[in-house]
């Protein structure tokens, strides 16, 4: 289990990360969500011991992360990099060996991986000849070829084409099922929801939301209604507690101040005994993110 | 820090570098220079209108016969009856010089535009000739003649206040020559390897691979692994030259330059050679460590030169100062500098070669180097760790200054 307790980082008088707490168990995925400058990369750097926390601790199964532990960590940095002049094989071998993998094992694993991810080219091709998409795949292979127990991915989806985004998601799910602890960061919510067991939303280094993905949503209550009904906007607006009405697809999206208001809305639209669509839900994580993280900017 | 990872980093550094064009051009550069020199001197010799000079001997048939028989003296000899005729033939260019005798005195008249005749050799020949002539007049036996002609032997020793050394002036020259040659070699080695290690680190830092490497290892592994790799490369480089020397020795034992080097090395005493090499080796490591520290402050490739330049200047100081050394055994400034690490690697061997310093002095300089090396490695690691993942947008002077501060502030390593 990875545990961050009261983790703080200050650069001069600037607070980059403030009182961060989290627990990550084998087979769990944690999404660290926040806008640029929220403190995601800084958090990873503290976990990896690149920089020292101002206070607080990072532990793996109760002890500080050792050199041997580090070999079990797969890390994909925010700014990707490969040795341009090496071949794919030399490149991946080197990283694999640094992680304690045997050369012969790494060699055969690489061939499998390249086949599985559909990398165009041979292991003996130079990295600089690779297309951007293929370079991204090779970078992913280099990060996970040794089957890490703990995977840290800094903005793994940024800059990926749709095909590679899908591959990345599949890999994350595969490693999760094999029992790895995974933490990744993202500056938006797209696609993150179905991937994460837990979420931590950061704003200016401060944790604004933290916990189980479904619990976060539910904690906001079912304050959203998607409606397809002949009732007019004016009629709906008369109900106290309807905050906003926005057109959405063939219907409308209503925001409520309180989940209980939903009952009144239903009574109005079901007056004649029939309503085509009435769905009362908690806000999506996207909405929560916009409200809590982006909205809170000002 | 695990030894296995250290070796992996060293091996990776070594492997990529030894395959690079840069390394091999560095290895071949001195050989190319030698080849060019050899080529030029060959062309000069080949195009020289080198003919055997023709020397007329005026009215001395016996001398003429003797000179003809003298193998050591490469001339054609021609009997001339009188000086008038000799002069005429000289102007016509049929003779390059003529030798006239008057009252036991010899006169060699050279033509201005003819082939030159060696004066020294002529003197030596005439000397032996007159000696033989006198000996036969005195009716000496061959043994007596032999005794008469044997020159006295003279061995030189130097009794300086630094103690007695054998070999005298010959060893002095050899040691000094070696020290100067070493100076050039160390300088070239230093500057090349310094820029190599700087590129190595700057490249990884600017391509952000450093983050991946450090996620699996530690700054210490990276720092010492890279240094080990480049050090191994330098050792390979030196070994290549030794092998090349041995190959030349086996296949072309009479090669002119090899003979030159051999005769030079013959005069060098072992203690001096070993001490000089140790001083140089430790200095190279010292420079490499310092460069690794500076290179970690670099943000991108374009700043590499900026980081390496100061190293080159310091190395150059030590090298240039060796030339001012001769004839200044008691210059306090130079004496003190010869103990200063980063300069001592060229200055101390040169002073040692000139007998201005003792082996004890050199040992002190070596110990000082080692202390600085250990200090640099320990504290350099701290600075390296601080900087290698910091991408400051300011210039590297600022980074260097803040790191200097970091040297004295305890951080976790
Ligand atoms: N080495 C540093 N020195 C000073 N400030 C830094 C440093 N690294 C990060 N910061 C600051 O800390 C904050 C968080 O940065 P970061 O963790 O990179 O954000 P994110 O990865 O979420 O975009 C930013 O305001 C950034 O400017
Ligand atoms: Mg970031």
Pick the closest to residue B338 from B359, B326, B360, B321 (CA basis).
Answer: B321
Give B359-396 as a 3 state SS string.
HHHHHHHHHHHHHHHHHHHHHHHHHHHHHCCCCCCCCH
Structure tokens at B370: 């080692």
pLDDT at B115 over 60: yes
Of A15-29, A195-209, B1-15, B126-140, give the lowest mean pLDDT range.
B126-140
Beta strands A14-24; A198-203: pairing state: unpaired
Structure tokens at B220: 């210490």
Q: Which domains does chain B have, with CATH numbers?
A: 54-146 (3.40.50), 167-405 (no CATH)
Q: How many alpha carbons fall within 13 Å on the CB side of residue B399?
A: 24
Ligand 1 nearest atom to the CA of residue A12, by list position = 4
Q: What's the farthest any 2 CA atoms get from each other in chain B?
A: 99
Residues whose CB falls within 8 Å of the CB of residue B179, separated by 6 or more in sequence, listed in order: B276, B322, B346, B349, B350, B352, B353, B354
How distant, in Å, are the alpha carbons of A169, B242, B287 from that of B239? 52, 5, 21
CA distance A127 to A91: 8
pLDDT at B164 over 60: no
Residue A95 sits at the chain B interface (C-beta within 8 Å):
yes
Of A224-238, A281-295, B243-257, B340-354, give the lowest mean pLDDT range.
B243-257
pLDDT of res. B166: 46
In the structure, what pLDDT confidence band is assigned to residue A9 with cuts at 50, 70 and 90?
A: very high
How distant, in Å, are the alpha carbons of A127, A275, B16, B26, B186 from that of B22? 20, 78, 11, 6, 18
Average pLDDT estimate for A219-232: 91
Is this model's pTM higher than 0.80 or not? Answer: no
Decide whether any atom of ligand 1 lies within 6 Å of the A34 Cβ.
yes
pLDDT at B323 over 60: yes
- Nearest by CB to B8, which of A75, A86, A98? A98
Decide whether any atom of ligand 1 lies within 6 Å of the B402 Cβ.
no
pLDDT of res. B275: 87
CA distance B358 to B349: 10
Pick the closest to residue B317 from B293, B337, B288 (CA basis).
Answer: B337
Average pLDDT estimate for B312-340: 83
Which three-class secondary structure state does DSSP give residue A228? strand
The boundaries of every CATH 3.40.50.300 domain in chain A are 2-218
Average pLDDT estimate for B401-409: 58
Tokens 């795949």 correspond to what residue?
A137
Burial degree of B73 (CB within 10 A; 0-12, 13-18, 19+): middle
Burial call B16-54: b when 16+ CB within 10 Å, e when fewer: bbeeeeebeebbeeeeeeeeeeeeeeeeeeeeeeeeebb
pLDDT of res. B400: 65
pLDDT of res. B14: 94
pLDDT at A87 over 50: yes
Q: How do residues B8-22 score in pLDDT, each as one tens digit?
A: 999 999 998 998 888
In the structure, what pLDDT confidence band is assigned to residue B162 with cuts at 50, 70 and 90?
A: very low
Task: Find out if CATH 3.40.50.300 is the number for domain A2-218.
Answer: yes
> Percent of chain A at pLDDT above 90?
71
In the structure, what pLDDT confidence band is assigned to residue B372 with cuts at 50, 70 and 90?
A: very high
Q: How far, in Å, from the CA of A25 to the mean position of ligand 1? A: 27
Average pLDDT estimate for A188-205: 88
pLDDT at B160 over 60: no
- DSSP letter at A99 equals T
pLDDT of res. B163: 47
Say what angle helices B3-18 and B219-251 make with each other, to 10 degrees: 50
pLDDT of res. B157: 58
pLDDT at A287 over 90: no
Q: How many alpha carbons fall within 13 Å on the CB side of residue A5?
A: 9
Tokens 């692994």 correspond to what residue?
B225
Structure tokens at B368: 């000082």
Residues whose CB falls within 8 Å of the CB of residue B148, separated by 6 or more in sequence, listed in order: B131, B135, B140
Average pLDDT estimate for B304-311: 81
ipTM associated with this complex: 0.83
Of B116-125, B161-170, B201-210, give the lowest mean pLDDT range.
B161-170
CB B205 within 8 A of CB B298: yes
Of A13-22, A242-251, B47-56, give the lowest mean pLDDT range.
B47-56
In the structure, what pLDDT confidence band is assigned to residue B264 with cuts at 50, 70 and 90?
A: low
CA quadruple B143, B144, B147, B149: dihedral, nearest 10: -100
pLDDT of res. B49: 60
State which fold the A221-281 domain adopts: Alpha-Beta Plaits (3.30.70)
Q: Name the residue with the closest Cα to ligand 1, atom 26.
A: A37
Of A260-264, B101-105, B166-170, B359-363, give the lowest mean pLDDT range.
B166-170
The boundaries of every CATH 3.30.70 domain in chain A are 221-281
Question: In testing the pocket of ligand 1, which one of A37, A155, A158, A293 has its CB within 8 Å of the most ligand atoms?
Answer: A37
pLDDT at B255 over 70: no
Average pLDDT estimate for A189-218: 89
- DSSP letter at A292 equals I
> Percent of chain A at pLDDT above 70?
99
Q: Do B12 and A95 touch (CB under 8 A)?
A: no
Q: How do residues A133-171 score in pLDDT, each as one tens digit?
A: 899 999 999 999 999 999 999 999 988 888 889 989 999
Average pLDDT estimate for B375-384: 87
pLDDT of res. B412: 40
Tokens 């079990």 correspond to what residue?
A72
Burial degree of A284 (CB within 10 A; 0-12, 13-18, 19+): middle
Mean confidence (pLDDT) of chain A: 91
pLDDT of res. B147: 80
How distant, in Å, are the alpha carbons of A120, A137, A173, A195, A297 from that of A133? 10, 6, 20, 22, 34
Residue B105 sits at the chain A interface (C-beta within 8 Å):
no
pLDDT of res. B250: 80
In the structure, what pLDDT confidence band is assigned to residue B172 with cuts at 50, 70 and 90?
A: low
Which three-class secondary structure state does DSSP give residue A271? coil
Which helix (H) or strand (E) segment holds residue B305: the answer is helix B304-321
Q: Do A83 and B207 touch (CB under 8 A)?
A: yes
CB A84 within 8 A of CB A75: no
CB A23 within 8 A of CB A3: yes
Q: Do B214 and A48 touch (CB under 8 A)?
A: yes
Q: What's the farthest any 2 CA atoms get from each other in chain A?
A: 73
CA quadruple B339, B345, B348, B354: dihedral, nearest 10: -170
CA distance B352 to B179: 9
CA distance A191 to B155: 92
CA distance A175 to A184: 13
pLDDT at A178 over 90: yes
- Give the ligand with the smallest distance to the CA of A42: 1
CA quadruple B116, B117, B119, B125: dihedral, nearest 10: 170
Burial call A150-171: b when 16+ CB within 10 Å, e when fewer: bbbbbbbbeebeeebbebbbeb
Average pLDDT estimate for B355-374: 92
Average pLDDT estimate for A115-140: 91
Decide whether any atom of ligand 1 lies within 6 Å of the A18 Cβ.
no
Residue B5 sits at the chain A interface (C-beta within 8 Å):
yes
Average pLDDT estimate for A213-217: 87
In the structure, what pLDDT confidence band is assigned to residue B117 with cuts at 50, 70 and 90?
A: confident
Decide whether any atom of ligand 1 lies within 6 Å of the A11 Cβ.
yes
pLDDT at A183 over 80: yes
Minimum CA–CA partner of B412 in chain A: A52
**How far apart, in Å, do the first and last CA atoms of chain B sit?**
11
Mean confidence (pLDDT) of chain B: 80
Of A113-122, B68-77, B256-265, give the lowest mean pLDDT range.
B256-265
Of B58-62, B144-148, B197-201, B371-375, give the lowest mean pLDDT range.
B144-148
CB B413 within 8 A of CB B220: yes
Pick the closest to residue B171 from B153, B152, B156, B154 (CA basis).
Answer: B156
> Percent of chain B at pLDDT above 90?
9
Q: Do B212 and A70 touch (CB under 8 A)?
A: no
CA distance A76 to A88: 17
Pick the closest to residue B166 from B263, B260, B269, B265 (CA basis).
Answer: B269
pLDDT of res. A192: 85
In the structure, what pLDDT confidence band is assigned to residue A60 with cuts at 50, 70 and 90?
A: very high
């Amino acid at each position: 289990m990875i545990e961050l307790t009261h983790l703080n980082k200050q650069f001069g008088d600037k607070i980059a990360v403030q009182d961060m707490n989290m627990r990550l168990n084998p087979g769990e995925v944690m999404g660290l969500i926040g806008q640029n400058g929220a403190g995601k990369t800084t958090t990873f750097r503290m976990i990896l011991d690149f920089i020292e926390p101002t206070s607080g601790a990072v532990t793996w199964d109760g002890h500080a992360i050792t050199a041997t532990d580090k070999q079990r960590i797969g890390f994909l940095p925010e700014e990707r990099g490969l040795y341009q002049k090496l071949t794919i094989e030399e490149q991946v071998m080197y990283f694999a060996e640094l992680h304690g993998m045997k050369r012969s094992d790494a060699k055969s694993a690489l061939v499998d991986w390249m086949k599985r991810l559909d990398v165009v080219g041979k292991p003996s091709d130079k990295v600089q000849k690779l297309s951007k998409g293929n370079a991204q795949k090779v970078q992913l292979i280099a990060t996970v070829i040794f089957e890490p127990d703990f995977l840290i991915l800094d903005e793994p989806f940024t800059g990926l084409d749709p095909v590679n985004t899908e591959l990345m998601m599949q890999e994350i799910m595969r490693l999760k099922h094999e029992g790895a602890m995974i933490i990744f960061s993202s500056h938006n919510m797209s696609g993150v929801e179905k991937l994460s067991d837990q979420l931590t939303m950061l704003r200016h280094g401060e944790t604004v939301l933290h916990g189980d993905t479904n619990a976060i949503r539910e904690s906001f209550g079912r304050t959203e209604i998607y409606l397809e009904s002949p009732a007019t906007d004016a009629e709906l607006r008369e109900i106290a507690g309807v905050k906003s009405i926005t057109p959405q697809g063939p219907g409308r999206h209503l925001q409520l101040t309180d989940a209980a208001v939903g009952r009144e809305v239903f009574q109005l639209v079901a007056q004649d005994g029939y309503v085509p669509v009435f769905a009362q839900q908690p806000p999506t994580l996207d909405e929560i993110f916009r409200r809590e993280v982006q909205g809170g900017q000002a | 820090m695990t030894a296995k990872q250290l070796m992996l980093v060293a091996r990776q550094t070594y492997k990529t570098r030894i395959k690079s064009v840069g390394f091999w051009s560095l290895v071949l550069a001195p050989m190319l220079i030698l080849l060019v020199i050899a080529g030029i001197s060959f062309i000069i010799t080949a195009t020289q209108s080198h003919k055997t000079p023709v020397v007329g001997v005026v009215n001395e048939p016996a001398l003429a016969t003797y000179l003809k028989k003298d193998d050591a003296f490469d001339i054609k000899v021609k009997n001339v009856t009188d000086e008038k005729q000799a002069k005429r033939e000289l102007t016509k260019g049929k003779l390059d010089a003529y030798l006239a005798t008057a009252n036991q005195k010899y006169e060699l008249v050279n033509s201005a535009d003819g082939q030159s005749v060696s004066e020294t050799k002529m003197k030596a020949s005439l000397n032996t000739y007159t000696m033989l002539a006198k000996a036969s007049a005195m009716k000496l036996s061959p043994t007596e003649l032999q005794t008469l002609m044997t020159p006295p032997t003279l061995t030189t020793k130097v009794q300086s206040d630094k103690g007695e050394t054998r070999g005298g002036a010959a060893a002095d020259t050899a040691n000094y020559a070696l020290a100067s040659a070493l100076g050039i070699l160390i300088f070239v080695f230093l500057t090349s390897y310094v820029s190599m290690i700087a590129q190595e680190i700057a490249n990884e830092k600017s391509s952000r691979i450093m983050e991946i490497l450090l996620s699996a290892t530690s700054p210490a592994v990276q720092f010492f692994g890279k240094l080990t790799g480049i050090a191994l490369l330098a050792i390979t480089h030196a070994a290549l030259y030794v092998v090349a020397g041995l190959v030349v020795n086996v296949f072309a034992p009479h090669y002119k330059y090899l003979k030159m080097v051999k005769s030079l090395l013959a005069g060098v005493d072992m203690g001096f050679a070993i001490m000089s090499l140790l001083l140089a080796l430790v200095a190279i490591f010292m420079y490499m460590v310092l460069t690794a520290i500076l290179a970690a402050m670099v943000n991108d490739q374009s700043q590499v030169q900026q980081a390496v330049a100061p190293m080159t200047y310091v190395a150059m100081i030590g090298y240039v100062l060796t030339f001012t050394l001769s004839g200044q055994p008691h210059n306090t400034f130079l004496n003190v500098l010869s103990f200063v690490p980063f300069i001592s690697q060229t200055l101390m061997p040169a002073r040692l070669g000139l007998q201005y310093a003792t082996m004890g002095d050199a040992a002190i300089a070596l110990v000082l180097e080692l202390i600085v090396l250990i200090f640099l490695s320990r504290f350099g690691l701290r600075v390296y760790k601080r900087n290698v993942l910091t991408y400051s947008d300011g210039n590297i002077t600022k980074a260097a200054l803040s790191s200097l501060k970091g040297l004295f502030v305890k951080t976790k390593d």
